[in-house]
Chain A
Amino acid sequence: MGAPLIGARVERKEDYRFLTGAGQYTDDVDLPRQTYAAFVRSPHAHAKIRKISLDKAKKSPGFVAAFTGEDFAAAKLGGLPCGWLITDVNGQPMKEPPHPCLAQGKVRYVGDQVAIVVAESVDQARDAAEKVEVDYEVLPAVVDGSKATAKGAPQLHEGAPGNTCYVWAIGDKAVADAAFAKAAHVTKLDFINNRLVPNAMEPRVAIGSYSRADDSYTLHVASQNPHVERLLMTAFVMGLPEHKVRVVAGDVGGGFGSKIYLYAEDVAVTWAAKQVNRPVKWTCDRSEAFLTDAHGRDHHTVAELAMDKEGHFLGMRVQTTANVGAYLSTFASCVPTILYATLLAGQYKTPVIHCEVTAVFTNTTPVDAYRGAGRPEATYVVERLVETAAREMKIDPAEIRRRNFITAFPYQTPVALMYDIGDYNATMDAAQKLADVSGFASRKKASEAKGKLRGLGYAAYIEACGIAPSAVAGSLGARAGLFEAGEVRVHPTGSVTVFTGSHSHGQGHETTFAQVVADRLGMPIENVDIVHGDTSKVLFGMGTYGSRSIAVGGTAIVKALDKVIAKGKKIAAHLMEAAETDIEFANGAYAVKGTDKKKMFGEVAFAAYVPHNYPHDKLEPGLNENAFYDPSNFTFPAGSYVCEVEVDPETGVVKIEKFTAVDDFGNIINPMIVEGQVHGGLTQGIGQALTEGAQYDASGQLTTGSFMDYCIPRATDVPSYQVDTRVTACTHNPLGVKGCGEAGAIGAPAALMNAITDALGVKDMPMPASPQAVWTALKNKKAA
């Protein structure tokens, strides 16, 4: 038996196919007799539809069919559901206005679907869609969340007066107010957490097909959670039995949250496929993606931190307006509440926290979870407040954090979570050392000698991952369970295929999960294949988001492996004529304790499938086990980030000189993959702080609708990173893992903005800190 695979830098099993062009992304799938769809989308942010005429489109070459909202209503297709019910401060359910797949009389954002046009080719579908005539009565629009509830603001939905979805709160306001009343110092910030467009490199694709032979549907779709997609689509929208619908999400080119949701196009192509009795394929282009992929963030927050004179935190008050866009996307409601306000304790012993969130509808693209989902927003609130407080009180920013770190676990926060374990001083120590914080003063001098400004900023983040204990999620409004499923199918000669309900779209599960399986079964990794992404193969799954795959999906696999090993023990005992209690399994072999008698795992598997000598009275043949795992708590990855920037005051250009991240993800299966996740997360976080930001004009047109004017970081925008980890093993899952997918995106924006404001000597400035914004901030500072 070789070295342990868990903890090893194993090269990825999936890479060969991606490097040779052999990946099978959804757009690479073509079905016989396939047609192509294009969507007619609203060019207006808010309008009534007076009339739709398909006459000219029908005469367009290659036209096959077109359907509008009227057809969908006649077919009694439901609207897109929201998966999380938030109960407001008055005990009332949130407002859930209809979210039709195709507009019903009104459009509410630029890009809203009005009709689906099906033709013989992509170009013909687009040509025909251009010829659909829609007569709009344009209405005034509201795009700014902070203005949505104002008197006289345009109203989006009849069922949501004041454009308000809910006003929700957590924490005891009276106790918080009392804490502020006795504070020696209060730090207050008022800021926007900017709206982001996820921009996975693979745009969304959906291919619906239907078979009259057995009245069944197949949807190939770029999705992070095919089973959830199927459940939502069948049970809530189309009224179909699940066993008649197969959803396949093969290779998926990145998700970052944007491919969690059930989208209107997925339903439309599936339904249309039956109408035209041919497959219908839709491939989103990037311009469409900017308009229609669920966006992220978009909070306006006023936050205050109360302290005693030594900088001990006494309480926090937070007021947030969350812009959810025109409709509630699948998980939109839980992001600015359950995934946000519960994280406001951060790594600190703040005794009381009150947070009130007003979620509002606006004439913009729906907003939902994007990498980090609520937790970057929470970290931004906490870590900008803490850093600003340190500066105002003239306490070293690392020191003020250390004074307030939680050091005893388990720890019950005042905002519902129970942290099981962590060591925040350890990650802070390591980050400070790796970032050479002690040398910063001399580097700052050197920068100043060149006429440059230099700044250093920290962020000590925490996140709640391993989503989620179903009972807890259910009590907070989740309308689905949040377990995960796994199946271990042992083949007669001992190799293994493992089916997981987690989905890999860049995370490398085919490797990481195989490392776990091969390690546990004591076999080479080549003998293990991981299968995911097809509802006809995988028994069930809740999918991949919230950094949950290894903590929840990995644990389900471990539990199935335990069952396989236990059954094998019974078989081995029979084969070796020993008592089951005397059998030990290690390094791929069942051995009789105290003897040299053993049977290899493959021999036992073979006996299970060729049961000539087999305990038929006690056991069924075969070796195939599955398990569902519902976690007992969230996991709590945490870490310390240090960012150092140099700013050119002449141009406002910010250069990231050093970015250091020390994370505690619990035990690590593959450090190479974990580092890659951190690099990617950091870059998206840096993108939010430095280059990205969705902008709408007052009429509701997205003015940042392409890579030409919405800047996702390029290679020259980011540095090489210094990353390391410290380990406190998660206490409640067998692998001791916490999850690593979102950390970088959660911690980076606060660290970077803390560094920039330090360099500029300003209290705050908006994200993204573009050269223009930085230059303006410096100019305003001079003027003041």
Chain B
Amino acid sequence: MAVKVSLKVNGKSVAAEVEERTLLVTLIRENLRLTGTHVGCDTAQCGACTVSMNGKAVKSCSMLAMQAEGADIMTIEGVAKPDGTLHPMQAAFKEHHGLQCGFCTPGMVMNAIDFAKSHPSPSEQEIREALEGNLCRCTGYHNIVKAIGAGAKAMAAGK
């Protein structure tokens, strides 16, 4: 049965008609055509689908679109400034080569931004533990860890 959902995505109000079984990630990718949010698994392990919901990083493959009714969602497309300038966390990933194929990257960045809000100067161990729900097959995490450390500091400094 079709249901209506209304929510805010990247600052804009949107409404869509979806099936009850439709996942939030499907709404984002298929209905809204915001394809920066990726699907890398079907067991809520890889984190490629991570978005921000009401300021918290969530896996959009693990909830129904209906559950996001009224929510304020930010996807990777909404992270950079309106003029295209990268967010400090995005810039840190670029500077530290924290991405290779780029597929896990949006989820990594969304999780990292949420993490950095409460960890302005994280240790390597804290960062690694925070990445528990995000898998990357390319980078070996080495440069992602460096990027998140640098990005967190840049965010704290208000850059």
Contacts and interface: CB of A to CB of B under 8 A. Distances in A.
How many residues of A sit at the interface, in one of the four size bands? 35 or more
A20 B19 contact: no
A203 interface: yes
A714 B127 CA distance: 12
Interface string A494-533: 0000000000011110000000000000000000000000
Contacts of A508: 100
B62 interface: no
Nearest to B127: A715
Contacts of B144: 715
A448 interface: no
Interface string B75-118: 11101100010100010011101011111111001000000000
A332 B10 CA distance: 46
A20 B77 contact: yes
User: How many B residues touch the partner, as a band?
Assistant: 35 or more
A407 interface: no
B45 A19 contact: no
B101 A20 contact: no
A285 interface: yes
A25 B101 CA distance: 10
Contacts of A19: 76, 80, 86, 90, 93-94, 99, 102, 105-106, 109
Contact of B100 (A286, A506, A744): A506
Interface string A292-320: 00000000000000000000000000000
Given A21-B37, A676-B143, A706-B45, A251 B21 contact: no
A676 B93 CA distance: 12
B122 interface: no
Interface in A360-376: none
A718 B136 CA distance: 12
A29 B42 CA distance: 20
A595 to B, nearest CB: 44
Nearest to A289: B41
Interface centre among B95, B109, B141 (most CB of A within 10 A): B141
A536 interface: no
Contacts of A714: 131-132, 135, 141
Contact of B136 (A12, A28, A201): A201
B131 A721 contact: no
B134 to A, nearest CB: 8
B45 A707 contact: yes
A741 to B, nearest CB: 11
Interface string A186-216: 0000000000000111110000000000000
Contacts, number: 181
A23 interface: yes
A683 B101 contact: no
B105 A708 contact: no
B89 to A, nearest CB: 9
A15 interface: yes
B34 interface: yes
Interface string B60-82: 00000000000000011101100
Interface string A694-715: 0000000000001110001111
A11 B131 contact: no
B137 A15 contact: no
A21 B34 contact: yes
Contact of B38 (A202, A675, A680): A202
B42 A25 contact: no
Q: Interface majority SS on A: helix, strand, loop or mixed? A: loop
Contacts of A682: 140
Nearest to B96: A672
Contacts of A708: 43, 45
A429 interface: no
B4 interface: no
B119 to A, nearest CB: 14
Contacts of B109: 19
B99 A18 contact: yes
A707 B41 contact: yes
B101 A706 contact: no
Residue of B75, B101, B103 with most chain A CB atoms under a 10 A cut-off: B101
B54 interface: no
A92 interface: no
A11 B138 CA distance: 17
B97 A12 contact: yes
Contacts of A747: none
B102 A287 contact: no
B48 to A, nearest CB: 6
Contacts of B99: 15, 18-19
Contact of A712 (B101, B102, B127, B135): B135
Contacts of A1: none
A705 B105 CA distance: 24
Contact of B103 (A14, A25, A30, A744): A25
Given A201-B48, A707-B135, A715-B132, A21 B140 contact: no
Contacts of A28: 35
Given A683-B140, A708-B45, A20 B145 contact: no
A253 interface: yes
A253 B34 CA distance: 17
A25 B37 CA distance: 11
Contact of A680 (B21, B90, B100, B129): B100
10 contacts: A19-B94, A20-B77, A20-B90, A200-B103, A202-B103, A254-B138, A286-B40, A676-B100, A683-B140, A721-B140
Given A20-B86, A716-B132, 15 more contacts: A11-B94, A12-B97, A15-B102, A19-B80, A19-B94, A25-B38, A201-B48, A252-B101, A506-B100, A675-B97, A683-B140, A714-B131, A715-B145, A716-B131, A720-B145
Interface of B: 19, 21, 33-43, 45-46, 48, 75-77, 79-80, 84, 86, 90, 93-95, 97, 99-106, 109, 124, 127-129, 131-132, 134-145
- Nearest first, the 8 A-B pairs at minimum CB distance are A21-B36, A18-B102, A253-B103, A506-B101, A683-B140, A506-B100, A679-B140, A707-B45
